[in-house]
Amino acid sequence: MSKQWETWDEEKIKTFQETFLTWYHKEKRNLPWRATNDPYAIWISEIMLQQTRVETVIGYFYRFMEQFPTIQDLAEAEEQKLLKVWEGLGYYSRARNLKAAAQQIVAEFDGKMPNSIEEIRSLKGIGPYTAGAIGSIAFGLPEPAIDGNVMRVVSRLFCIEADIAKASSRRPFDEAMRTIISPDEPGEFNQALMDLGSRICTPTTPKCEECPISQYCLAYAENRQTDFPVKSKKAKPKDVYYIAGAIEDQGSFLLVQRPETGLLASMWHFPLVEVTKEQYEALQRTWAKEEQLQLDLIAEDDALEIFPDLPVVWQKRHFGEITHIFSHLKWHVLLFYGRKRGELTLQDSEWAAKESFQNYVFPKPQQKLVEQLKKYQKLDKDF
């Protein structure tokens, strides 16, 4: 593979850095975590920004820092309180890893964020990118922070044909970045690449006419911008089908807590039963007609077969469906409403008044189910 960055001499590298940083200082986004060099705040922001849009993160960042202003506070946080603050961001293992790393910092580094790349990398949940971001922004270390945006920019800059979907392809990007990164302002340089990738050097329609470094870009010179980055297709998420039961008893609904490990660990939702695609579609066809608006309850001997052992009287139609995509799974959930008609207990469950839902940590699929319930029952907006 051609290593075009090796053809740049010191003068070209220095001119490139000055041009790029001049643009960044003028055009950089005003973001709360950029107003500080506090490594704790930078760490929290970088973890939140993984797989999440900047606009979404801003509000969460403020709330998180208010609830857990120091590493010590995070280390001592109750898990349910931590997850509640994180609720809606998804990828909840990030929040749990933050707490574990905070405990590690308290135990091993006297409560202060370590300032070497090796020690930062030793923390739970911190990989090469996050370590590079913290090291360069908070401590001025000339360490690259290579994420998808940076790979896209650098691959176009030097026409790097390595497949970015493969972990082994990180090496040429690391070599290129160590050649061009500013030793005086490494954090600013890394953030400049992030901004360029998210605003100008976009995946499908790069705005090359607005790019401050287009004169250095080999892909632009060869009119091959859309050939980069090279990326093999990711496997399609697996479809999984569930029936959810919104079971009510005198204004309270039955909630089930998930196990302490695994997907959506320790979070709460309506009872769920996994079904086959055929069962799911059969229930859709039988119960889903929009013109069937009756709210009658079905007879007790005509119970919903999916929940045969629950003493519940179900409504004749379902309340619609929701979908939610995880990194490897796509959930399809059909919602039914029913009322308790006898003793009903499930393992790891509680009855919760709708007014108290705010005290439970709901994953995104459950939040969508609650919205469906509100829509069909025309419940109070405070529900």
Catalytic residues: 46
Neighbours of 263 (CB within 10 A): 14
The partner residues of 103 in beta bridges, in order of sequence, read none
Q: State which H helix or E strand residue 192 sits in.
A: helix 186-199
Cα–Cα nearest to 152, from 187, 189, 195: 195
Cα–Cα nearest to 175, from 188, 164, 160: 160
Distance CA 175, CA 137 (A): 20
What is residue 184's DSSP assignment? S
CB 200, CB 206: distance < 8 Å: yes
Cα–Cα nearest to 83, from 102, 111, 64: 64
- Checking phi first, is residue 315 left (phi over 0); if not, alpha (psi -120 to 50) or beta? beta
CA atoms within 13 A on the CB side of 249: 13
CB 144, CB 174: distance < 8 Å: yes
Distance CA 334, CA 323 (A): 9
CA 231 to chain centroid = 21
Residue 98's alpha-carbon distances to 44, 86, 361, in angstroms, are 8, 11, 17
Residue 331's alpha-carbon distances to 118, 328, 337, 348, in angstroms, are 39, 10, 19, 22
State the Rg of the chain over Cα: 26
CB 70, CB 40: distance < 8 Å: yes
